[in-house]
Structure 1
Amino acid sequence: MFAVIKTGGRQYRVVPDDVLEIGKIAGEVGTIVQLGEVLVLGGDTPVLGAPTVAGASVAAEVLQHKRGPKVIAFKKRRRKHSKRKRGYRDEITMLRITEILADGKAPTIGPRPKKEKVVKPAEGEGSDEAPKAATKKADSKKTSAKKAAAEAPAKEAPAKKAPAKKPAAKKAKSDD
């Protein structure tokens, strides 16, 4: 079974488990939204809407909200010293069609569970204490160096040397 839906001024032919990008619609990621403007319900006996099919809707899961590719509008009028560069990116919502509903039914399929990331334990789990001890040693070295610098008698700064004088440039004698 397929359906032709209208959203954002465009029409899409969809079947269950289709993933499509449409103009941004309201809905949190992972929720189910219903698209109510169904123009055609296809199958064994297609149903055409006038303009929409009464009681039909399409349920879809919101996968993500993102921005489309950058589009640059550059206009130039030759020999007029006139140019304009303007760009934009469309807001896009990615949907997965879960089911096509007829006769005013509610969606029966809920959002799909997210796959959990498998976190591998670090090699040698018991060795977590060793790096902590190493950082403590490094900290103690820093503090002991600071203490030693504070206890040492203050050294006198070396006297500044006078800048060296540049030799005077010899004047060239002219044979006039």
Structure 2
Amino acid sequence: MFAIVRTGGKQYRVAAGDKIAVEKIAGNAGDTISLGDILLAGEGSELKDTAGLLVSAEIIAQAKGEKVIVFKKRRRHNYRRKNGHRQQLTLLRIMAIGSEKAKKAAAPKADEAATTDEAPAKAAPKKAAAAKTAE
């Protein structure tokens, strides 16, 4: 399965196991991130729906790109400027392309239910204590 993702203002065609260099993304080597801006996905010549689709990737390293020389010159004015620039890059390994977003969204709902059950039990003693002080 392949997907076309957009990150850093550029588009990349990725599949599971691919390694790509993208504009800098916050994180350390070994961290897992998810690329959510998916433009197209499919398998072979068949296209799939991108709603709820998620591309998970692992950060291999933070690196710098090749040095680019910026040279400015104006003829007959003795004007010359030389600068260099190295772009900050993040190297990614694509782990999987799938709909993991729905699974992750379901897990917090179960946690929220557990915390809401505990919250009324804690609130009841406070109300009783407040009633005793009012008397």
State whether TM-score is above 0.5: yes
Q: Which has the higher contact order (CA 8 A, sep 6+)?
A: 2
Show CA shifts across 1:24-56 (max 9, x none): 0012110110000000011153036xxxx3211
- CA root-mean-square deviation: 1.7
Question: Relative to structure 2, which stretch is displaced further, 30-39 or 79-88?
Answer: 79-88
Quote how far apart the aligned CAs of 1:105 are.
4.2
Q: Which one has the largest radius of gyration?
A: 1
Of Structure 1 and Structure 2, which has the larger fraction of its residues in strand? 2
Matched, 1:56 2:57: no
The aligned runs of 1:25-174 (5 Å cut-off) are: 25-43=25-43, 45-47=46-48, 53-102=50-99, 104-105=101-102
Of Structure 1 and Structure 2, which has the larger fraction of its residues in helix? 2
Question: Using a 3 Å threshold, how does the CA distance of structure 1 residues 11 and 42 change in structure 2: closer, same or farther?
Answer: same
Question: Using a 3 Å threshold, how does the CA distance of structure 1 residues 9 and 106 change in structure 2: closer, same or farther?
Answer: farther
- Cα distance between partner residues in 1 of 2:31 and 2:102: 18
- Cα distance between partner residues in 2 of 1:65 and 1:94: 6
TM-score between both structures, scaled by the size of structure 2: 0.71
TM-score between both structures, scaled by the size of structure 1: 0.55
Gaps of 5+ in 2: 105-135
Quote how far apart the aligned CAs of 1:106 are.
5.2
Matching residue's letter, 2:73: K
Matching residue's letter, 2:78: H
Identity of paired residues, percent? Answer: 43
Corresponding residue for 1:124? Answer: none
